[in-house]
């Protein structure tokens, strides 16, 4: 029995150490099938989303879904710490509970107490090891506790920085592509010679954004669960709008930047496909079709009204369909998995952008106190 406990305890410690290394330190995608971290998110995401969909009002669901990313991160760290403590407790117990307690107690729970106080480096001294092996294990666990704390301290700022860099470009897309962003609105707002030059620059920026997104979200997949500041914005919606817009330009938009569109499309599609592998979601064709023939005709008419001529004909339709098959199945699968709404190619109704909204007016309509004048702002500080 003690041999089994020693083997199980050692396996738990090594498993958590390897998981922590792959999750925090290793800067690349992990391809092996079984991972404790992946299992953790599978077991927590489904109950959370089920509870939100059944219990939360529709208008507040996005808010409650946004809690999952940060909370799951702290819960995952807690699971790692508890597993390490339990693993070392099993090793102590397999060693014969070689400890000395101030009250004379011994056994597994005393071993668990010693493991916890050692891991968190409390140094209370009421339970101490009495053999060389037990002392060696105690020093090892204490050092591991320091290393664990150091990893967490370095991990959280890296996550926050990656999240902030991701959200800056998404916020900038608000005035350039609407809220939520759509390909039709993105192209319409960049009509004209100067607008097409700005569109080329935007595609170039989003090529770099997609590359940074790929690197950060493959290294830290938990970032995919972090939601944007506004309910009608998300990293998936922004990436969808950019992919849709570049696909239209590649098919044939007169005077546009086909070369840069191809480069941005390739990078964005790469990010979408690789992330679907990380979350192990199976690509599926869209049901219903995001861009049936009648909506494509309407899309062409609206772009033409803005002065942008999109190539017509069966060849153009076939090329666009082939491009869509390269990325739409991945984004639809990710949208279903993460409960993120995929924006249409063309909005049915024109909506105000987020920057045009008046949140104070909405608050006053709900019965809140209206905003103070600028001159009264000193009262808030």
d(CA 28, CA 221): 11
Mean pLDDT of the chain: 85
Looking at residue 29, its pLDDT comes to 65
Rounded Cα distance between 64 and 167, Å, is: 19
Q: Please compute the mean of the pLDDT values over residues 157-180 and round it to a whole number.
A: 90
pLDDT at 377: 35
Average confidence (pLDDT) over 296-309: 91
Q: Is the pLDDT of residue 287 over 90?
A: no
Show me where the domains of the chain are located. Answer: 2-153, 173-349
Q: Give the pLDDT confidence score for residue 205 in this predicted structure.
A: 95
Give residue 96's pLDDT. Answer: 78
pLDDT for position 157: 84
Q: Compute the C-alpha angle 24/79/119, nearest 5°.
A: 85
Inter-CA distances, 151 with 24, 41, 200, Å: 7, 20, 40
Residue 28 has what pLDDT?
A: 64
State residue 378's pLDDT score: 35
Give the model confidence (pLDDT) of 234-276 as tens digits: 999 999 999 999 999 999 887 678 899 999 999 999 999 999 9
13-34 tens-digit pLDDT: 998 888 888 787 776 666 566 6
What pLDDT, on a 0 to 100 scale, did the predictor assign at position 299?
A: 93
Closest CA to 162 of 18, 355, 24: 24
96-144: pLDDT as tens digits: 777 766 666 667 888 888 888 888 888 777 777 878 888 888 889 889 8
Q: What is the mean pLDDT of residues 165-192?
A: 91
How much of the chain exceeds pLDDT 90, in percent? Answer: 44
Quick count: other Cβ atoms within 10 Å of Cβ 107?
A: 11
Q: Select from 356, 330, 328, 357 the least CA-distant residue to 344.
A: 328
- Residue 232 burial (C-beta neighbours within 10 Å; 0-12, 13-18, 19+): middle
Model confidence over 211-226: pLDDT tens digits?
Answer: 999 999 988 889 999 9
What would the two tokens of residue 153 be?
């301290």
CA distances from 375 to 23, 378, 380 (A): 49, 7, 11
Q: Is the pLDDT of residue 371 over 90?
A: no
By C-alpha distance, which of 381, 353, 29 is closest to 178? Answer: 353
Please determine, looking at this structure, whether the domain spanning 2-153 carries the CATH number 3.30.360.10: no
pTM (whole model) above 0.95 = no
Which pLDDT band, with edges at 50, 70 and 90, does 368 fall under? very low
Encode pLDDT of 29-74 as tens digits: 665 666 778 889 989 999 999 999 998 888 889 999 999 999 998 9
Quote the tokens at residue 206.
């989003």
Place of tokens 């935007």: 202
Whether 122 contacts 145, CB under 8 Å: no
Contact 247/324 with Cβ under 8 angstroms?
yes
Rounded percentage of the chain residues whose pLDDT exceeds 70: 88
Give CA–CA dist 92/129, Å, rounded: 9
pLDDT at residue 262, rounded to an integer: 95
* Tokens standing for residue 47: 């109950």
Question: Which pLDDT score, from 0 to 100, does residue 104 have?
Answer: 62
Is residue 379 over pLDDT 70? no
pLDDT at 32: 60
User: Given this model, what pLDDT does residue 95 score?
Assistant: 81
Using 50, 70 and 90 to split pLDDT, how confident is the model at 376? very low
- Position 373 scores a pLDDT of 38
In the predicted structure, residue 194 carries a pLDDT above the cut 90: no
In this predicted model, which residue has the larger pLDDT, 97 or 315? 315
State the Cα–Cα distance between residues 304 and 238, nearest whole angstrom.
24
Which residues does residue 101 pair with via DSSP β-bridges, in sequence order?
Answer: 127
């Amino acid at each position: 029995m003690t041999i089994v406990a020693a083997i199980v305890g050692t396996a738990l410690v090594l498993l958590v150490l390897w998981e922590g290394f792959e999750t925090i330190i290793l800067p690349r995608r992990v391809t092996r099938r079984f991972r404790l971290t992946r299992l953790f998110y599978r077991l927590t995401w489904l109950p959370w989303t089920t509870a939100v969909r059944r219990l939360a009002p529709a208008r507040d669901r996005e808010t409650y879904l946004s809690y999952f990313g940060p909370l799951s991160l702290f819960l995952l760290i807690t699971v790692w710490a508890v597993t390490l403590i339990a693993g070392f407790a099993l090793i102590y117990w397999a060693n014969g509970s070689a400890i000395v307690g101030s009250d004379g107690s011994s056994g597994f729970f005393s071993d668990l107490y010693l493991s916890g106080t050692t891991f968190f480096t409390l140094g209370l001294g009421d339970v101490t090891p009495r053999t060389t092996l037990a002392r060696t294990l105690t020093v090892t666990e204490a050092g591991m506790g320091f290393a664990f704390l150091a990893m967490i301290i370095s991990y959280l700022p890296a996550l926050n920085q990656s999240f902030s860099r991701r959200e800056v470009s998404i916020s900038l897309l608000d005035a350039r592509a609407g809220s939520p962003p759509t390909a039709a609105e993105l192209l319409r707002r960049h009509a004209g010679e100067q607008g097409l030059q700005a569109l080329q620059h935007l595609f170039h920026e989003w090529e770099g954004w997609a590359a940074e997104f790929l690197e950060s979200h493959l290294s830290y997949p938990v970032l995919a669960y972090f939601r944007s500041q506004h309910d009608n914005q998300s990293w998936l919606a922004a990436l969808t709008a950019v992919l849709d817009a570049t696909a239209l330009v590649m098919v044939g938009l007169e005077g546009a930047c086909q070369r840069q569109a191809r480069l941005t499309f390739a990078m964005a599609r790469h990010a979408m496909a690789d992330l679907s592998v990380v979350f192990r979601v199976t690509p599926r064709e869209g049901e219903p079709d995001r861009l049936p023939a009648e909506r494509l005709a309407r899309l062409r008419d609206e772009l033409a009204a803005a002065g942008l001529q999109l190539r017509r004909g069966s060849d153009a339709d076939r090329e666009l369909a082939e491009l869509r098959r390269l990325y739409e199945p991945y984004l639809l699968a990710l949208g279903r998995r993460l409960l993120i709404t995929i924006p249409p190619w063309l909005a049915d109704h024109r909506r105000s952008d987020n920057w045009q909204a008046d949140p104070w007016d909405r608050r006053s309509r709900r019965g809140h106190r209206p905003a103070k004048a600028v001159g009264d702002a000193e009262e808030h500080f």
